[in-house]
Amino acid sequence: MCDIPVPIDGEEKIVRAITSGSVNKTNTAIRPRAFRSRPGADEVSVIRQTFTGSDFCKAKGRERADYVGLAVLHAGQIRKAGSEVIDSRDEYCGHAHISHGIVAPPPHEPLSPQDNLALDKKLDALRSAARYHPDPDPGSEGWNGPAL
């Protein structure tokens, strides 16, 4: 039973698990593609940190290959960037999706230029709004970095 409210308040903290493919070489900043949808979908998996806590976010992050840190932003910042954040508890309690409203192209083919232009503006806004925290010890259990 999931007792987290379905509506996501603008002040809620939303966390995206970051992997090595989405940061710069020194692991100090995320790249815009950290918020790009997975193939064939308009969904970016995120976690509702306000309700689940930082340790839970890290545990979910460690399920990903090459996990290196967590990026945090408020739900209101996601909406201000022009995207939507929606509860998706069918994955697990505390899971949500960021949706950019752009239909995914077929595998190995590009987005249309109109969609790329719109998506790039959203990704850049999300990248700018997000606070990235590299994990000081990705291999350990529990979040030992600064408060999210």
Which residues here bind other proteins, judged by CB under 8 A?
17, 19, 21-22, 31, 33, 36-39, 45, 64-67, 104-105, 107-114, 116-117, 120
CB 4 within 8 A of CB 89: yes
Chain length of the chain: 148
C-beta separation of 107 from 52 below 8 A: no
Q: In terms of CB distance, is 7 or 110 closer to other proteins?
A: 110
- CB-wise, 5 or 112, nearer to other proteins? 112
Q: Give how far the C-alpha of residue 102 lies from the chain's centroid of Cα atoms, to the nearest Å.
A: 16
Structural contact between residues 87 and 74, judged by C-beta atoms closer than 8 angstroms: no
Distance in Å, CB of 18 to other proteins, minimum: 9
Q: Is the Cβ of residue 21 or residue 101 nearer to other proteins in the bound state?
A: 21
